[in-house]
A = this chain, B = another copy of it.
């Protein structure tokens, strides 16, 4: 299968190249980048030198599937022509994630270019939409935060064991902000520092609500707060919600039952694991796992679920390849079974 990567020069794009290199069924046939067109890929990313690719201004040749790793708006502009030419698309940007065009406009500040595609696009959180993804021609790969939050909360929401008052407090490594230069990824500003940002609402919020609500008995009331911390890769989300019936979750029995709900929900899903202890982002560095750990707070009758993943793998390029595997009929874990690099 021949694939193209639009905007290989960002972190999601370069991570796609790293992962796809070991894919036995895929040939990376064309890669593009805006400012770096004409350069060898190895000049920009020495670790990718052995791929022998040259960065092009536009995709070239006949392709079976295209990944777009552009920012929103630019991504739709690049994906729509490809779709119209019959090429399958996995879009890592936010452009096809939200089902409502007005909601897209509200959060992203631009009108959507082809709202009819929003209905067709499948939200690419693989564990929730595996079958639809198999049949999709356009997959909207989820954001890194939503992947961690939705996977953490879906089992409890679907089992109707928690109320709607949900708080997601998330930490992100700096690579989540991309490769562009900003004060919030300047080393001297971020190192030995931690802070909350997007206090008036992060753009990933509506995705989380959109995906949880269909599973929920009543609409969730979500507070979602993001924080930047001094590491390169990793998302850690700590999710808080009240149990509907706190009395049901006493003792070891409650603990066991909760673990069972989580294990059952992700049974048959190779990239979600229920960890026996609070998981660490480093346990996912470079690999495609999402680790979950649900905890019962007996003092208050609340559920806490801790979730972590590598924002560039399960939170971006890895999940994109997982979705591509389904779309192409390959085993879901092809080229995704590498272990985390630890320490």
A residues sitting closer than 8 Å to B (CB atoms) are 11, 14, 18, 21-22, 45-50, 165, 167, 169, 171, 173-175, 179, 181-183, 185-197, 199-201, 221-223, 225, 227, 229-234, 236, 238, 240, 242, 273, 275, 277-287, 291, 293, 295, 297, 299-300, 302, 304, 306, 308, 338-343
Contacts and interface: CB of A to CB of B under 8 A. Distances in A.
A47 B308 CA distance: 13
Nearest to A284: B47
Given A193-B281, A223-B304, A231 B234 contact: no
Nearest to A312: B343
A208 to B, nearest CB: 12
Contacts of A201: 297, 299
A339 B186 contact: no
Contacts of A48: 339
Nearest to A51: B339
24 contacts: A18-B341, A46-B279, A46-B280, A46-B291, A47-B284, A49-B273, A181-B181, A181-B183, A186-B187, A187-B191, A191-B232, A193-B282, A194-B229, A195-B279, A195-B281, A196-B238, A199-B278, A199-B293, A201-B297, A201-B299, A223-B297, A230-B231, A240-B240, A286-B341
Contacts of A186: 179, 181, 185-187
Nearest to A286: B341
B188 A339 contact: no
A109 to B, nearest CB: 18
Contacts of A338: 22, 338
